[in-house]
Amino acid sequence: MVVHLVGAGPGDPELITLKAVKVLEKAEVVIYDRLANEEILKHAPHAKLIYVGKKAGEHYKTQEEINKILIDEAKAHDEVVRLKGGDPFVFGRGGEEVLALQEEGISVDMIPGITSAIGVPTTIGLPVTHRGVATSFTVVTGHEDPTKKEKQVKWDYTADTVVVLMGIGQIAENTQEMMKYRDPETPVCVIEKGTTPEERIITGTLENISKKDINPPALLIVGNVVDVYKKMKK
């Protein structure tokens, strides 16, 4: 009765850890969200696969329902893998799942993954820090839970580089807010479906990026490091 909470990496199926592959190989059950690449599931040939992500036009499972599935499967099997895109603790609600499982006396083994927030920029040659350009970065959600009473995201971050996840639906509002604190000419880079064959890279400025054709899943990188990306040979 152990649940391995595993990060699957940002998309490219080779960007998963050896440790993750090892636990997938012996998994009896794999509970997974939508993954950029389902090829990763091939590492778990013996497992029952349970999909708990979003499906177009269908009601998707609440966090409580997912927690219940995890608990029930963990009680019925020795080796359960909970697989999540990127890193399980970066906007993945992994922490909530760990707490729910531990409350039931179930042990959890946590295996990190390459988060899209840093891994995707790296694969295109965009460093989130760069000597003389950026000494800090912030990773923020562009889509705060609409049921929250008070917004936690205020867009007044002082880090040199800001990486926005889940920010495409509200890109116009978010960039508008950021321009209250940053020059509208600040360079911006959007990476759509990074590390996959459908990857697209779009560059612009805080002022004009929202007018471009962008589709999720994508992340937004704001800051002068985008100029370093433009210089780097591909």
- Of the listed 12, 33, 87, 160, which one is catalytic? 33
Tokens 């998994």 map to which residue? 27
Choosing from 22, 48, 54, 151, the catalytic residue is: 54
| Minimum separation from the CB atom of position 112 to ligand SAH (A) | 9
Minimum gap (Å) between residue 29 Cβ and ligand SAH:
21
Q: Estimate the share of the chain in helix, then strand, then coil, as percent rounded to the nearest 5.
A: 30, 25, 50
**Binding residues among 33-92 for ligand SAH as defined by CB under 6 A:** 36, 84-87, 90-92
Question: Can 87 be counted among the known catalytic residues?
Answer: no
Query: CA 62, 63, 66, 68 torsion: positive or negative?
Result: negative
CB of 83 to ligand SAH, least distance (A): 11
Specify the residue, 1 or 123, whose C-beta has the smaller distance to ligand SAH.
Answer: 123
> Is 151 among the residues known to form the active site?
no
Q: What is the DSSP letter of 57?
A: T
Helices (H), the chain: 18-25, 63-76, 94-103, 116-124, 171-178, 225-231
* Interacting residues with ligand SAH between 205 and 224 (CB under 6 A): 216-219
Measured torsion, CA atoms of residues 209, 212, 213, 217, in degrees rounded to the nearest 10: 0
Q: Which is nearer to ligand SAH, 10 or 187 (CB)?
A: 10
Please indicate whether residue 145 is annotated as part of the active site. Answer: no
Nearer CB in complex with ligand SAH: 62/105:
62
- The least CB distance from residue 90 to ligand SAH, in Å, is 4
166 near ligand SAH (CB under 6 A): yes
Q: What is the distance between the alpha carbons of residues 67 and 126, in angstroms, rounded to a whole number?
A: 36
Q: Which amino acid is at 228?
A: V
Q: How far apart are CA 186 and CA 201, in angstroms?
A: 17
Q: Which of 67, 174, 175, 195 binds ligand SAH (CB under 6 A)?
A: 195
Number of residues that bind ligand SAH (CB under 6 A): 24
Nearer of residues 86 and 187 to ligand SAH, judged by Cβ:
86
Give yes or no for a contact between 187 and 227, defined as CB atoms under 8 angstroms apart.
Answer: yes
With respect to ligand SAH, which residue has the nearer C-beta, 17 or 77?
17
Beta bridge partners of 3: 80, 108
Q: Are strands 200-205 and 187-192 parallel, antiparallel or unpaired?
A: antiparallel
Interacting residues toward ligand SAH by CB under 6 A = 10-11, 36, 84-87, 90-92, 115-117, 120, 165-166, 191, 193-195, 216-219
| Catalytic (active-site) positions | 33, 54, 166
